[in-house]
């Protein structure tokens, strides 16, 4: 994989991991509440946000499969240490 393509693959995979982790957090009891203004009551938007994040994860997976069909289902493992 060329450096530019590799960087794009890493970017997509990292974003996908982040979205999946947030979905996992919400699916296992995490909550998100927002207020329309400073004095307004908080409203639970967890379900809506979870649905939106799941759609984003699906879109990221599809994009990765389309751009990198040979690596789409591989999981990027960053190098922890550079060798000297």
Over the stretch 25-54, which tens digit does the pLDDT of each residue have? 999 999 999 999 999 999 999 999 999 999
pLDDT at res. 74: 59
User: E-assigned strands of 2-70?
Assistant: 33-35, 42-44
Please give the residue that has the higher pLDDT: either 62 or 5.
62
The span from the CA of 68 to the CA of 1, in Å, is 9
pLDDT at res. 81: 46
Domain boundaries, the chain: 3-67
pTM for the complete prediction?
Answer: 0.77
């Amino acid at each position: 994989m060329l450096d530019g393509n590799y960087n794009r693959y890493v970017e997509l995979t990292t974003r996908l991991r982040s979205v999946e982790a947030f979905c996992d957090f919400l699916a296992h009891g995490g909550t998100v509440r927002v207020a329309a203004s400073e004095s307004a009551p908080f409203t639970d938007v967890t379900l809506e946000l979870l649905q939106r994040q799941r759609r984003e994860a699906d879109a990221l997976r599809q994009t990765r499969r389309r751009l990198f069909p040979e690596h789409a289902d591989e999981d990027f493992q960053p190098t922890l240490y550079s060798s000297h």
